[in-house]
Structure formats: structure tokens, C-alpha cells
Amino acid sequence: MVNRWRIPESEGRNLFEQILHNRQLQAEDLRGGLESLPDEALLANIEQVALRITKALRNNEPMVIFGHDDPDGITSTYILYQYLNSCGYQRHHYYIPNRNLEPHGIQQSLIDFVKNGGYTLVVTVDNGISAAWGVNELNKVGAEVLITDHHLIQPDSLPEALAILNPQLPDCMYPFKYLAGVGVVLMLIRYLSKILDHPVSPAAYFWAAVGSLADKVPMIGVNHLIVRHVIDNWKTIPDYTIDFLLRNYNRISGPGGIFSFIQYTSRLIANGREADGQHTALSFMLQVSDEKAVLFQDLEQQKNRWEHELNRVFGIMDNLLTGFVGNAFVYFDDEDVIPYSLLGTAATYVVNNLGVPTIMLKLHNGYTVCEGRCSDGFNMVSAFTHCKDHLKQYGGHPKAAGFTMEPHKYDEFLDCFNDYLLASLETAPEPGKIPVDAVISLSDLDSGNWHQIELLLPWGMQNPEPVLALKNVSLAELQSRVTLDNNSLSISDHKRYDLIISWKNSGLIRILDFYES
């Protein structure tokens, strides 16, 4: 067991105390509310952004909210759109690009939409920080641009927007840098609420939780506060769309059930891409007529097809990973077996299985597109920055980034990427053992301990589900207390084991690893 896992000493502590101790947490760390949020006025340029939006409201200017077609972008668009609605403003429209039809960022389709509609203000959400060309083109057709984004910046190529709101800006004093795009927009509408003396709907926090969890930002700091606020104040969050979804969802029980519902919602609205700036998920969220049920059924069907396609892609990746040995995984999908929209998911699957930097590439709309993923010890944005001379556009986060490239530059890029990879590996520390959060006995798997574990929700990056070591048990003993997911592991019914497990819900245990006692 000690070869792969780092087993702590329990030192007389109970299960919950062990987890807190081994994660270097204090019980009071789990009790923060919205009053603990940093002052959003610390975000660089937020006053300029808020005042320009306020001017548009008061002058009844036509405005476009330009979003992104993932759950972070959809929720970002939704909460800003709904906040402006609640202020009585009616001249705002949204435009959601479709990654299956055009490259990421501001493209000609949006520019034509803005020009033909006579819009004088464009507000980007969850995108825009790498759209220098697009912003210039919007300025040419008479539209001012406000960028709200959270992706890493490229200081030498910032767009010439009227103002940029992004916690990654070097002059930004906001202490928490890991907001999702919807988190940035939430801080913006909180700031607007003070200027306009108009409250933020409690539902905005729910949608911020949905987008933040979907975007896999670290579940610490402000992100943890936002999602935990929703869990702790669940019964005081009125929203027509939430109520509709709950009527079509299993009964929710406890904090874990609320967390699962948030995750379900993010999976649902990950579908719905359309042409011409429309999006089925956003239409569903905004709809109040009987058409809402029709849109919901459409989304459910798309989600089911997406999950089926996801399993097919995972099967392909399992075959590709069999027998793999190497320091990085590079795959060019020249047979077009992985949809572009699942390229990043496939890369994440590889990282979760192999633990090595992974880039997945394919031809799409005339360009070579790439999604890169990695774990601790490698920085995908730094790698792409090192090779930026070969790229048309790139951006993202240290562990999840992407780019667009002219197809003929593939070989040059690959040489450059390999050079960066080799240099990075020379300085990378040896991979450590996987930490276990607590050592427990069978009797610890009770409702009291489960309720305490729920205090640690939400799970996510830097706050993962606890990993527990359960010593000297048989499968029969374990199954007498809980339902067992053996994770496709071949375990005998006639031996005693030391198990590494995750506690999925009050009655379900998943076995991660096992050793004979």
C-alpha cells in the first residue's frame, strides 16, 4: 500500500478531524458566507466597465452580450442578461458562437450581427482577452467593447477595448485570481447593484455555481464561498428555471444532493449549440412559456446523445492508451473519430489515466485546432506561449488551454513543443505519492460522519473528494453496510483487504485500490 499511497497516522483523531488536519484546514475555514467575499471594487477597471453599462441603460443604447458556448459562458451571459432585465432594460441581446461552425473568439459573424443591428456596445463574457483583431473590427463598425474574462492574458497583445475586466491583469488588486468567467460577471453585477441601488437575484449565485463547477476552476477561496452559499441557502433561491428542473429531477436530499443537482444542470446546459448566435440552453433558461418544456426535452435528448458519444470516445482513448509509455501524449485525429467539442474532454481523460501532459489535435474549419491538458508540474499556456510564433491564436489556463494554427505549421510546432517539454521535464520534481485523507474502520461509515464530510463540499480542483484508507475488511462486511462500486477491479470475496476508497454518498462506496491485508 505504501508504494502508491501516502497513508497518514490517525493519531487518535476521528474521521473528520483527520481530514481537516491532513488538508491543513480549520473548522472555521468552512463557515464563511458572502460577507467574506473580497470587495469587488478591487477588480481593475470595474468602475469603468460598470459606468459604461450604466450609461447604456440610461441612454437606452442597443447592447450585445457576446458569450461562449460552454456552461461557463452560458451562465455568464444569463446572469448579466437577467440582471439587466430586472433593471427594466430591454435593448440588450445575446450572441453565442458555435465552436463547431467557427473558431473561438470574435469572428466575422458577430461583427456583421453588430453592424447590421446598429449596436453601439458589446460586452464579452468568458472570452475576449485574446481577440485583438475582433475588437478592432467592432470598433470600426461603431461599437465600443467591454471585455470581461478570466483566461490568462498575453500582455503584448491585449485588445484595444474600452475597458478590460479580468483578475489576471497585472495591475488588478483583487486577491483571488481563479474566478470562472461567470464569477467575474457575478462580481460585476454585484458592483452594478451598488451603483444602481438594485439587488442581485439570489439565483445568480446558483448559476455562478453551475458555471464555476463546469469550468473546473479551483474549489477554494471565492469559488468555494459561492457554491457553498448556494448549498447552505438552497431553500431561499427562487428561480423559475431551477423550479422547472427540480420538477423533472430526483428528490434532493442534503448538501450532497444539492451538489449533484448543480452538476446535473451543468451537464444539461453543455448542450444546445445552434447557428446565428442562438443557443438552445440559453433559450430554455430565459423561456417562461409552455415552450420551456419543449426546449427542455430537446436538451435532454442532446445530453443523452452527448453522453453516448462521450462513452464512445472514452472507448477509443482506452485503446490508444493501452501499453502507452512516454512523458507526454500527442494525438492527431486524422481519422476524424473525435468530435471537436469533445477534444478537450478526451485530453482530460488521458491526463486522468496517464498523468502526463496531453495535446489532442485535429483539422477543423480549415485550421489545425488543439486542446491541451496537464496536471501539476507543467504549464500548458507557457508551452503554447513558447511556441506562439507557430500559432494563429491561443489562450486558456495553466492546466487547460487551446490554440488554432495553420495546418502547414504542424511539424514546426511539434518540434517547438517537444523542446519545451524536454526542458520542463529536466526541472520537474519526481511525482509524489497520492495522499490519503484519513484512516478509518468499518464502523466509521455511518450517517454522522457522512454529514460531517458534506461540510467540506463542494468538491473540485484543490478540494477533491476525500480519499480514505479502510483496513482489514472483507467485501461481505463492507456490503453489509453500504452499496459497493468495485470500479471494475477484480476483488475476491474470500479474502480480507486494505482498501483505498472514496465515499460517494451516504450509502455508496467506490473502491479505488486494494491490497491483501
DSSP states of 70-107 as a string?
Answer: SHHHHHHHHHHHHHHHHTT---EEEE---TTTS-SSS-
Q: Residue-wise pLDDT tens for the chain (517 aa)? A: 456 899 998 888 999 999 999 999 988 888 889 999 999 999 999 999 999 999 999 999 999 999 999 999 999 999 999 999 999 999 999 999 999 998 889 999 999 999 999 999 999 999 999 999 999 999 999 999 999 999 999 888 899 999 999 999 999 999 999 999 999 999 999 999 999 999 999 999 999 999 999 999 999 999 999 999 999 999 999 899 999 999 999 889 899 999 999 999 999 999 999 999 999 999 999 999 999 999 999 999 999 999 999 999 999 999 999 999 999 999 999 999 999 999 999 999 999 999 999 999 999 999 999 999 998 889 999 999 999 999 999 999 999 999 999 999 999 999 999 999 999 887 766 667 889 999 999 999 999 999 999 999 999 999 999 999 999 999 999 999 999 998 888 888 888 999 999 999 999 999 999 988 8
By CB atoms closer than 10 A (0-12, 13-18, 19+), residue 322 is: exposed
Count of other CB atoms within 10 angstroms of residue 492: 11
d(CA 450, CA 444): 9
Residue 3's pLDDT is 65
- Residue 140 lies inside a defined structural domain of this protein: yes
Boundary residue ending a domain (257, 286, 315): 286
Boundary residue ending a domain (396, 427, 458): 427
Residue 486's pLDDT is 87
- Residue 341 lies inside a defined structural domain of this protein: yes
Q: Are residues 414 and 441 in the same domain?
A: no
Nearest to 499 by CA among 489, 154, 253: 489
- Angstrom CA distances, 436 to 13, 72, 101, 314, stand at 15, 31, 44, 27
By CB atoms closer than 10 A (0-12, 13-18, 19+), residue 451 is: middle
Q: Are residues 114 and 48 in the same domain?
A: yes
Q: Which domain holds residue 453?
A: 5-23+437-516
Query: What CATH number corresponds to the domain at position 417?
Result: 3.10.310.30
- Residue 432 lies inside a defined structural domain of this protein: no
- Residue 303 lies inside a defined structural domain of this protein: no
Nearest to 349 by CA among 311, 303, 382, 379: 311
- Angstrom CA distances, 326 to 190, 357, 366, 425, stand at 48, 10, 30, 12
Given the C-alpha cell 526541472, which residue does it identify?
Answer: 427
- Residue 315 lies inside a defined structural domain of this protein: no
Q: Are residues 355 and 501 in the same domain?
A: no
Q: Are residues 421 and 453 in the same domain?
A: no
Residue 1's pLDDT is 46
Q: Are residues 332 and 238 in the same domain?
A: no
Q: Are residues 83 and 203 in the same domain?
A: yes
pLDDT tens track for 55-109? 999 999 999 999 999 999 999 999 999 999 999 999 999 999 999 998 889 999 9
Instruction: State the total domains in the chain.
Output: 3
Q: Are residues 105 and 174 in the same domain?
A: yes
Q: Give phi and psi for 55, each to the nearest 5.
A: -60, -40
d(CA 92, CA 121): 9
Which helix (H) or strand (E) covers residue 411, if one does? Answer: helix 410-427
- Residue 514: beta bridge partners? 499
Residue 259's pLDDT is 97
SS3 35: helix
Residue 17's pLDDT is 95
Say if residues 399 and 375 touch (Cβ distance below 8 Å).
yes
Nearest to 82 by CA among 238, 275, 233, 236: 238
- Residue 331 lies inside a defined structural domain of this protein: yes
Boundary residue ending a domain (407, 427, 447): 427
Residue 29's pLDDT is 82
Query: What CATH number corresponds to the domain at position 41?
Result: 3.90.1640.30
Sheet containing strand 329-332, edge to edge, reads: 329-332, 358-364, 367-373, 400-405, 393-397
Spell out the SS3 assignment of 392-403: CEEEEECCEEEE
Q: Are residues 442 and 394 in the same domain?
A: no
Q: Are residues 442 and 393 in the same domain?
A: no
Q: Are residues 383 and 479 in the same domain?
A: no
- Residue 257 lies inside a defined structural domain of this protein: yes
Q: Are residues 144 and 220 in the same domain?
A: yes
Say if residues 276 and 117 touch (Cβ distance below 8 Å).
no
Task: Write the single-letter amino acid at 118.
Answer: G
d(CA 371, CA 402): 4
Chain-centre distance for alpha carbon 104: 17
Nearest to 440 by CA among 498, 517, 483, 493: 498
- Residue 501 lies inside a defined structural domain of this protein: yes
Say if residues 129 and 149 touch (Cβ distance below 8 Å).
yes
Q: Are residues 493 and 363 in the same domain?
A: no
d(CA 363, CA 210): 31
